[in-house]
A and B are shown apart, each in its own frame.
Chain A
């Protein structure tokens, strides 16, 4: 069981470029969550997806950010026209279903985005 796989681990983008972050959930997990961790801050919820559906995107910035979890393939967090303030660690987590199982999410190791 490879766990939650995120790639790339590190990503450097110039201002105005696009960033694509990928997340493959654990085998058997159908729920994916994206969180952002700014330097010296806690984890902030961004979006919750199931296959082909966005369930809760209340934490996503209104512009430039989008997420998908297609029927086949990994979940993608896309940031268009990146700005320096987007520099952060982006974590993906997965769960087999809702939180009622009591085991919390399983997190990936994150993608560290640096905008120069």
Chain B
């Protein structure tokens, strides 16, 4: 069965303390891996799409990387406004346009 697992479930950081979130997947036929940010009471907001191993994308303090079995979301020198739940999702060749999401990582950045 296709699986997407995110770790850790929760992460508490001090402002400026860099860290990484992990998204591992056991799927066949990956078409793309997506990262989203979700704030409480809101819908997920698109961050990045990665298509192939070795690819990297950056946006402000966030950097996403992809290997054959996992993706990392690196948060560099985070600020309190980076506090959110970060979701990863995979799009599979055999699954049409359906995204399979991981359980998310809740990030809290304290000033």
Query: Hey, which bits of chain A sit against chain B, CB under 8 A?
Result: 4, 31, 33, 35, 41-45, 48, 55-56, 58-59, 91, 93, 95, 98-99, 102-110
Is the C-beta of B58 less than 8 angstroms from some C-beta in chain A? no
Given contacts A103-B46, A104-B49, is CB(A42)–CB(B96) below 8 Å?
Answer: no
A45 x B46 contact (CB < 8 A): no
A108 x B97 contact (CB < 8 A): no
B43 to chain A, nearest CB (A): 3
Provide a sorted-by-A list of 28 A–B residue pairs whose CB atoms are within 8 angstroms.
A33-B97, A33-B98, A33-B99, A35-B101, A42-B102, A42-B103, A43-B44, A43-B87, A43-B89, A43-B99, A44-B101, A45-B100, A55-B97, A56-B97, A56-B98, A91-B43, A98-B97, A99-B31, A99-B97, A99-B99, A102-B51, A103-B49, A104-B34, A104-B99, A106-B46, A109-B43, A110-B41, A110-B43
Query: Hey, which bits of chain B sit against chain A, CB under 8 A?
Result: 31-32, 34, 36, 41-46, 49, 51, 87, 89, 91, 96-104
